[in-house]
A and B are shown apart, each in its own frame.
Chain A
Amino acid sequence: MTAAVRVRALDVTLDGTHVLRGVDLAAAAGEWVNVIGPNGAGKTTLLRALLGLVPFDGEIEIDGLRGRTDKHRRAARARKLAYVPQTPVIPPGMLVADYVLLGRTPHRGVFAAETANDRRIAVEILERLDLGGFWERTVQSLSGGERQRAVLARALAQQADVLLLDEPTTALDLGHQQDVLELVEALRRERRLTVIATLHDLTLAARYGDRIAILAHGRVAETGPPTEVLTVQSIAAHFGATVRIVDDPEGPVIVPTAIAKNGDQP
C-alpha cells in the first residue's frame, strides 16, 4: 500500500517551546488514522505542520509532494490536502454557496473566476451533504451540525485525497457527532479519502477509523489498532486518567472511573 502521508523525524519549536520532537507517522492511501493525546500534546501543531502553517524540521511528504521543494507549494498542497479546522472562522454575511466555492481556490487560481466545473462540483457536494436547500443562506445562520457540514463541504470541494479533521466533533451533541463521523466514513469509502483526525473522545476514536496514534509530550508514544493501543495502562500513562475498558463488538468503550465516589484508590 502506498503512503498518502508520511512524516519523518518532525520537529517543531514554537516560541522557544519544543512542541513536536521527532514525530514519525504514516497514513496509507484510504486509511483513517486518529491522533489522540492529552491537551498540549501537540495534536493541532502536527496538523498545522502538515498544512505548512508552522516552520518545521524533518520531512513531510503528502501524496508525493515534499514539504519545501514545490514553488507554488501552497496551492499545490491545497489540491492534495483539505483541512477542517476545530473552530472555523465564519465570514459574516457569506452565503453557503460562496463558502463552499472557496474550496475551489487552489484549482482556479487567486485571480480567476470559478468555472462551470467549479460550480458543478460545489452543487454536487452541497447535495451530497444535504445542504442543497441551504446554499442561499448565510453560513452564520446555520445550526452547529449544518455549519460543520458546510465546512466539510468546503474541504471536499478542494477534491484533495487527504482530509485533515481537527476535533470535528467538539461543538456538537452526541447525535451530530455521530452524523459527522458517519458522513466522513461514507465519504472516505466513496472517494477513497485518507483521513487524519484529532479526537478527544476515545470511544469515538476507537469506533471510527483504522488506527490510533497516541501523541504525548510531542512524541508518538504508541500507534496501532484501537484494541492494542487503548489499554488501561496506556491511558493512565499518557492521559493521567483512571478508566475501565469495556469490550464491545464494535471496539473498546472507555469509561472513566469516579475515584472519590467509589472509594477506590488509584
Chain B
Amino acid sequence: MTEREAPGGVETALRAAGLRPASLVAGLAAVVVAVTAGLTIGPVDLAAHRVAAQLLDGLPGVSLDSGLSDAHAAIVEQIRLPRVVLGLLVGATLSMSGAAYQGAFRNPLADPYLLGIAAGAGLGATIAITGNLGDGAGPFDPVPLAAFAGALVSVAVSYAAGHLGGRSTASLILAGIAVASFLTACQTYVLQANSDAFRQIFAWILGRIATSGWSEPALMLPYFVVTAAVVLRYRRALDVLAVGDEEAAALGLEPRRVRMIVVLAASLGAAAAVSVSGLIGFVGIIVPHTVRLAFGSSNRAVLPLSVLFGGAFMVLADLAARTALAPAELPIGVVTAFLGAPFFVLVLRTSRREIW
C-alpha cells in the first residue's frame, strides 16, 4: 500500500484516460508515412528528400534546391500534392463523421450515410448529370453542388420524419432508412429514363479522389474545418452520452441537443466529402472501429485519432487505386473495402479490447 499511495499516484494515472501522447504520435506518424508515400510513389518514383526539399522551397522565406527537374517538380506540386491533401481531408472527414455518428447513436453500425446522405447525394448527382446542367469544373460544377444539396435535404427530411415517430434514436435511424430507400428509388427511376448517362453516374457512385489543381481541396477544406471544430468540441459530451439519454440527462447533459448538433455537423462534412469524391464506403465504419480496438473507446481519443488515421488510410487507399492497375485507376471504394476489410479482421482478432 505504501508505494501505491505515493502523492499523485492514482490521480496522475486518472489524467491519462483520454488521448494519450503516444497515440497522437502514432496517428501523426501514420499521416507522415501516408503523405510521403502518396507524394513519392507513382508512375515516376521520386526520392523523398527531394520531394521534401521541393515542398519546403515553396514556403515563404525558404529557398532550397530540390534537384528535381521542372517536370518532376510540377508532378509533385500540381498533381500529387493536391490529390494527397484531398485524400487527407476526405478520409479524415468521413472517419470523424462515422465516429461521431456511432457515438451520437450509440450504434456500432452507424456510418455517415445512415440518414440517407448517400442516397440523397446520389439522386442529386444523377439529376445534375442526366439533366446536363453543364460540366464546369471547380466550385461551380453542378454535380457536387447537386450532390451536396441532395445529401443535406435527405438528412433534414430524416430528422423531421424521425421526430414525428417519437424521439428515440431508433425512430431516427428508421426514418433515415425510409428516406434513403425513397431517394434510391427516385434515383433508379431517373437513371432508367436516362440510360445513356449510366457509365458516368456509376463512376461517380464508386467514388474517386480526383483533382484538377487545388479547387477540390479548397472546396473541401472549410467543411472539414467546421465539422472538426464542432465534433471535436463535443467529444467529452459524447462520452457522457455513452451511458444513454436518461442517465446523461441525469448528469446534466441535454442529450437530444447534443445528438442533433453532432449529427448535423458530421452530416455537413460527410455531404461535402461525398460531393467532391463520390460515395466512398467503409471508411466511416472501419477507421473508427480500428482506432477503438487499438487505443480504447473514449471519444476523447477516438475522434481526433479518426481524423489522423482516416486521412492516412484514404491517402494510402488512393495510392493503391492509382498504382495497382496503372495507368488505369481502380475506383477508390473498391480499394477501401479490399484493403480495409482484411486489415480490420486482423485487428479484430488481435485486440483484446471490448469496444461494443
Say yes or no: is A94 at the interface (Cβ < 8 Å to chain B).
yes
Pairwise interchain contact A93-B355, C-beta atoms closer than 8 A? yes
Please indicate the chain A residues that have their CB under 8 angstroms from the CB of B356 in the complex.
92-93
B residues less than 8 Å from A105 (CB atoms)? 240, 251-253
A98 touches B243 (CB 8 A): no
B residues 223-255 in Cβ contact with A at 8 Å:
233-234, 236-237, 239-240, 242-244, 246-247, 249-254
Partner-binding segment picked from A18-26, A119-127, A172-180, A224-232: A119-127
Choose from B13, B236, B246, B355 the contact partner of A53 (Cβ within 8 Å): B246
A53 to B254, alpha carbons, bound, how many Å?
11
* B354 partner, pick from A120, A132, A140, beta carbons under 8 A: A140
How many A residues have CB within 8 A of the partner chain? Answer: 45
A109 to chain B, nearest CB (A): 9
**Cα A77 to Cα B292 with chains together (Å):** 33
Per-residue 0/1 for A91-125: is the Cβ within 8 Å of any B Cβ (1 yes, 0 no)?
11111011001110110001111001001101100
| B167: interface (CB < 8 Å) | no
A93 with B251, Cβ < 8 A, contacts A110-B236, A119-B14, A132-B10 known = no
- Whether, in the assembled complex, A32 has its beta carbon less than 8 Å from a beta carbon of chain B, the answer is no
Closest to B356 in A: A92
For residue B236, which residues in chain A have a CB less than 8 angstroms away from its CB? 110-113
B residues 323-356 in Cβ contact with A at 8 Å = 353-356
Task: Judge whether B239 and A102 touch: CB under 8 Å.
Answer: yes
B250 touches A53 (CB 8 A): yes
Partner of B251, one of A98, A103, A111, A112: A103
Complex-state Cα separation, A113 to B240, whole angstroms: 12
Inter-chain contact B14/A89, CB cutoff 8 Å:
no
Which residue on B lies nearest to A48, using beta carbons? B246
Interface contact A110-B247, CB-CB below 8 Å:
no
How distant is the Cα of A116 from the Cα of B253 in the complex, in angstroms?
A: 22
Alpha-carbon distance between A201 and B297 when the two chains are bound, in angstroms? 38
Q: Determine the distance from Cα of A136 to Cα of B296 in the docked complex, in whole angstroms.
A: 12
CA distance A113 to B239 in the complex (A): 12
Chain A CB within 8 A of B17 CB: yes
**Would you give the 0/1 interface string for B8-41, flagging 1 where the beta carbon is closer than 8 Å to chain A?**
0011011101100000000000000000000000
State the CA gap A116–B233 with chains docked (Å). Answer: 20
Q: B93 at the A/B interface (Cβ < 8 Å)?
A: no
A59 smallest CB distance to B (angstroms)? 20
Contacts of A113 in B (CB 8 A): 18, 236
Task: Decide if B290 is an interface residue (CB 8 Å cutoff).
Answer: no
Q: Do A79 and B246 touch (CB < 8 A)?
A: no
Residues of the A chain whose Cβ atoms lie less than 8 Å from the Cβ of B10: 123, 126, 132, 135
A119 in contact with B246 (CB, 8 Å): no
List residues of chain A with CB within 8 A of the CB of B64. none
Q: In the complex the two chains form, is B297's CB within 8 Å of A94's CB?
A: yes
Whether B258 is near chain A, meaning CB under 8 Å from some CB there, is yes
Answer whether residue A244 sits at the interface, using C-beta atoms and an 8 A cutoff.
no
Q: How far is the CB of A154 from chain B (nearest CB, A)?
A: 8
Residue of B nearest to A113 (CB): B236
B306 on the A face (CB < 8 A): no
Cβ-based interface call for A249 (8 A): no
CB-CB under 8 A from A153, the residues of chain B are none
Q: Does B298 contact A (CB under 8 A)?
A: yes
When C-beta atoms are compared, the residue in chain A nearest to B17 turns out to be A98
* CA distance in complex: A105, B254 (Å): 12
A116 and B11 contact, CB distance less than 8 A? yes
Q: Inside 8 A of A74's CB, which chain B residues have their CB?
A: 249, 252-254
Bound CA–CA A117/B244 (angstroms): 26
A90 to B356, CA, bound (A): 10
Known: A101-B17, A110-B236, A116-B11. Is A92-B252 also a contact (CB below 8 A)?
no
Given B17, B233, B243, B252, which contacts A95 in the complex, CB threshold below 8 Å?
Answer: B17
Residues of chain B within 8 A (CB-CB) of A120 are 11
B243 adjacent to A88 (CB under 8 Å): yes
Within the complex, the shortest CB–CB distance from A110 to chain B, in Å, comes to 5
Residues A141-199 near B (CB distance < 8 A): 158
Closest Cβ of chain A: how far from B77's Cβ, in Å? Answer: 39
Give the shortest distance, in Å, between B304 (CB) and chain A (any CB): 13
Most-contacted residue by chain A among B249, B252, B292, B355 (CB, 10 A) = B252
Contact B297 A92 (CB under 8 A): yes
Determine how close the nearest CB of chain A comes to the CB of B99; give it in whole angstroms: 14
Does A242 have its Cβ within 8 Å of any Cβ on chain B?
no
Q: Which residue of A lies closest to B353 (CB)?
A: A93
Question: In whole angstroms, how far apart are the Cα atoms of A191 and B17 in the complex?
Answer: 28
CB closest chain-B residue, reference A72: B252
Identify which of A102, A106, A132 gathers the most chain B CB atoms within 10 Å of its CB: A102
Q: B14 to nearest A CB, angstroms?
A: 5
A119 contacts B243, C-beta separation under 8 Å: no
Which residue of the partner chain, among A77, A92, A98, contacts B355 with CB atoms under 8 Å? Answer: A92
Contacts of A3 in B (CB 8 A): none
Chain A residues in 8 Å Cβ range of B249: 51-53, 74
22 intermolecular pairs with C-beta atoms under 8 Å apart: A74-B249, A76-B252, A78-B250, A79-B252, A82-B250, A83-B247, A85-B250, A88-B243, A93-B355, A95-B17, A97-B17, A98-B17, A101-B14, A102-B240, A102-B243, A105-B251, A111-B233, A111-B237, A113-B18, A119-B11, A123-B11, A135-B14
- Known A-B contacts: A81-B250, A105-B253, A136-B13. Give 9 more (CB < 8 A): A53-B250, A74-B249, A78-B250, A90-B243, A93-B356, A98-B17, A110-B258, A126-B10, A132-B4
